[in-house]
């Protein structure tokens, strides 16, 4: 079931059309990577979902209920981490979570239980009683996720939670999002494709105000599979030229790209482009085997998210 449905949403700022009849859905239980370049409209979309901005046309549904601009009741099941989270720096993390719990109308017992659980989930146990104004960016992002989860939302929306962090900080936030997914559907925006590949099962690439490419990441990769075959041979070294010449001579091979040879390499890799991996693959295999080379690996290459992205954005 779709927990979030965005149906034909448009948003203009004066002459500028940011969202142009944008439609997509986020299925319950998924981790959705909302990808787009700077200024593509990710933050605008998220603000519309949480009722902070009014769409010019279209509708958004969360858990089947329509989102209203302003104090929308749908926010009871949404946790939101904005792109630049603001905290009361004089509070410590526990005080801040208590404050957020009260704003959500939770009772003292639930706030206590939930705060302890969330402080552990985001790994802030050692700093829970330090003032937030002394926190690093990564610590603030962790607290931001904890704050967004205080009322046990069905949907967690994070606006670029990893963008300002170093690789270790990014890994830690991604690990938290992976843990969260057991109980909560996650929608997060980013332009870091590597982060998406690490934790998301579903993606939507926002481009020119709409989803240029979206769906299950594995399915997208397999449907956009190109006719590239990765071959690995033993041994490395002297045979590279002969092998390359042999592969290039085959009529159904359209290009041959040898892998960079490391000094201590014991095998030799080639990326070979054919007309059709399905029909030319077996022919390629039998040619190689007949010519006596030692084949160690044969794999139809999957496109990376980066290559899909560039294909869509180009
Ligand atoms: N309140 C506003 N008034 C006028 N223009 C706005 C407003 N908010 C956003 N925009 C414009 O809308 C476009 C989309 O902005 P948005 O912040 O949604 O993009 P984004 O995808 O989140 O970008 P980033 O990756 O930089 O965070 C930009 O051109 C931005 O300048
Ligand atoms: Mg943004």
pTM of this prediction? 0.83
Q: How far apart are CA 73 and CA 62, in angstroms?
A: 10
Q: Identify the CATH number of the domain in which residue 263 sits.
A: 3.30.70.3100
Last residue of a domain, one of 222, 253, 277: 222
Both 40 and 173 in one domain: the answer is yes
Average of per-residue pLDDT across 213-223: 91
pLDDT tens string 6-32: 999 999 999 999 999 999 999 999 999
**Domain boundaries, position 259:** 224-313
- The protein residue with its alpha carbon nearest to ligand 1, atom 26, reads 38
> What is the pLDDT at residue 26?
97
pLDDT tens string 127-162: 999 999 999 988 999 999 999 999 999 999 999 999
Q: Retrieve residue 295's tokens.
A: 């084949």
Both 82 and 201 in one domain: the answer is yes
> What is the pLDDT at residue 236?
61
Q: How many domains does the chain have?
A: 2
Both 45 and 192 in one domain: the answer is yes
pLDDT tens string 158-199: 999 998 888 888 998 999 999 998 889 999 999 999 999 999
- The protein residue with its alpha carbon nearest to ligand 1, atom 28, reads 39
- The protein residue with its alpha carbon nearest to ligand 1, atom 6, reads 13
The mean predicted confidence, pLDDT, of the chain is: 91
Both 12 and 118 in one domain: the answer is yes
Q: Which residue has 């990564």 as its token pair?
A: 138
Q: Given ligand 1 and candidates 9, 34, 43, 212, which is best to mutate, with the most ligand atoms within 8 Å of its CB?
A: 43
Last residue of a domain, one of 222, 237, 253: 222
Both 132 and 25 in one domain: the answer is yes
Average of per-residue pLDDT across 80-87: 91
- Number of Cβ within a 10 Å radius of residue 91: 15
Half-sphere exposure of 184 (CA within 13 A, CB side): 25
Q: Identify the CATH number of the domain in which residue 55 sits.
A: 3.40.50.300
Atom of ligand 1 minimally distant from the CA of 83: 27
Both 25 and 127 in one domain: the answer is yes
Both 38 and 62 in one domain: the answer is yes
Ligand with smallest separation from the Cα of 48: 1
Both 200 and 213 in one domain: the answer is yes
Q: Given ligand 1 and candidates 9, 10, 19, 41, which is best to mutate, with the most ligand atoms within 8 Å of its CB?
A: 41
Ligand 1 close to Cβ of residue 43 (< 6 A): yes
> What is the pLDDT at residue 227?
84
Ligand 1 close to Cβ of residue 48 (< 6 A): no
Q: Among 45-54, 188-197, 295-304, which is the least confidently predicted range? A: 295-304
Average of per-residue pLDDT across 45-68: 97
Q: How far apart are CA 32 and CA 176, in angstroms?
A: 15
Q: How confident is the model at residue 223 (pLDDT cuts 50, 70, 90)?
A: confident
Q: Among 123-132, 190-199, 238-247, 270-279, which is the least confidently predicted range? A: 238-247
- The protein residue with its alpha carbon nearest to ligand 1, atom 27, reads 38
Ligand with smallest separation from the Cα of 42: 1
> What is the pLDDT at residue 49?
97
Last residue of a domain, one of 167, 189, 222: 222
Q: How confident is the model at residue 213 (pLDDT cuts 50, 70, 90)?
A: very high
Both 234 and 273 in one domain: the answer is yes
Question: Taking a C-beta distance cutoff of 8 angstroms, is the pair 49, 78 a contact?
Answer: yes
C-alpha angle 282/285/289, rounded to 5°?
140
> What is the pLDDT at residue 264?
73
Both 182 and 249 in one domain: the answer is no
225 pLDDT above the threshold of 90: no
Long-range CB contacts for residues 308-314, cutoff 8 Å, separation at least 24: 308/205, 308/213, 308/220, 308/221, 308/224, 309/35, 309/193, 309/205, 309/213, 311/224, 312/205, 312/207, 312/212, 312/213, 313/37, 313/205, 313/207, 313/212
Q: Which residue has 């040879």 as its token pair?
A: 261
Both 19 and 112 in one domain: the answer is yes
> What is the pLDDT at residue 238?
65
Atom of ligand 1 minimally distant from the CA of 45: 18
Ligand with smallest separation from the Cα of 209: 1
Q: How confident is the model at residue 4 (pLDDT cuts 50, 70, 90)?
A: very high
Ligand 1 close to Cβ of residue 18 (< 6 A): yes
Both 127 and 248 in one domain: the answer is no
């Amino acid at each position: 079931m779709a927990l979030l449905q965005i149906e034909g949403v448009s948003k203009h700022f004066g002459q500028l059309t940011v969202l142009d009849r944008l439609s997509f859905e986020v299925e319950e239980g998924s981790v959705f990577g909302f990808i787009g370049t700077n200024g593509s409209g990710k933050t605008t979309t998220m603000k519309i979902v949480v009722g902070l901005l009014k769409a010019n046309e279209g509708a958004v549904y969360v858990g089947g209920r329509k989102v209203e601009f302003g104090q929308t009741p749908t926010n009871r099941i949404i946790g939101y981490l904005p792109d630049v989270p603001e905290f009361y720096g004089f509070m410590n993390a526990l005080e801040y979570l208590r404050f957020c719990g009260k704003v959500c109308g939770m009772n003292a017992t639930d706030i206590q239980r939930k705060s302890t659980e969330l402080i552990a989930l985001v790994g802030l146990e050692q700093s829970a009683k330090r003032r937030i104004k002394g926190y690093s960016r990564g610590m603030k992002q962790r607290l931001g996720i904890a704050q967004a989860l205080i009322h046990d939302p069905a949907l967690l929306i994070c606006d670029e939670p990893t963008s300002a962090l170093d690789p270790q900080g990014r890994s830690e936030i991604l690990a938290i999002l992976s843990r969260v997914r057991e109980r909560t559907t996650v929608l997060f925006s980013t332009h870091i494709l590597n982060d998406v590949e690490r934790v998301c099962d579903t993606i939507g690439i926002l481009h020119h105000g709409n989803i240029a490419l979206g769906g299950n990441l594995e399915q997208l990769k397999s449907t956009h599979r190109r006719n590239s075959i990765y071959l690995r041979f033993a041994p490395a070294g002297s045979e590279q030229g002969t092998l390359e010449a042999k592969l290039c001579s085959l009529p159904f091979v359209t290009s041959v790209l040898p892998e960079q040879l490391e000094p201590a390499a014991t095998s030799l890799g080639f990326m070979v482009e054919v007309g059709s991996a399905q029909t030319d693959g077996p022919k390629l295999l039998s040619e190689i085997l007949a010519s006596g080379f030692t084949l160690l690996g044969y794999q139809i290459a999957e496109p990376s998210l980066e290559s899909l992205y560039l294909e869509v954005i180009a």
